[in-house]
Amino acid sequence: MRDKFKTLVQWYDEMLSLPHRSEVARELRDEDDLFMLLLYSEMVGIPNPVYYYTLELYPYMLEKFHDWHLRMGMEKSPLDGIRCC
């Protein structure tokens, strides 16, 4: 009985969250894009007071940057300082 109730609650949660999955995915992608802008802002001419600290994140963000510029329709990296392709 307990397992059936648990399954029913999971099914109900899935039913409620299904229409919002694309919205949540879009919001997460927008947040990632904003973070990328903050991370690489110095390279596009926007002053970044925490540039020194964001340098440490470049090795970890390089693959995401490659996915981002492909998603934006750019075959090659738009920034000269980053060679991801």
The pLDDT tens digits of the residues spanning 45-61 come to 888 888 888 888 888 88
What percent of the chain stands above pLDDT 90?
13
Examine the pLDDT at 80 and tell me if it is beyond 80: no
Mean pLDDT of the chain: 85
Angle between helices 21-40 and 58-71 (to 10 degrees): 120
Q: How confident is the model at residue 38, as a pLDDT?
A: 85
Q: How confident is the model at residue 9, as a pLDDT?
A: 92
Contacts of 82 (CB under 8 A, 6+ apart): 40, 43, 58, 62, 65
Q: How confident is the model at residue 59, as a pLDDT?
A: 83
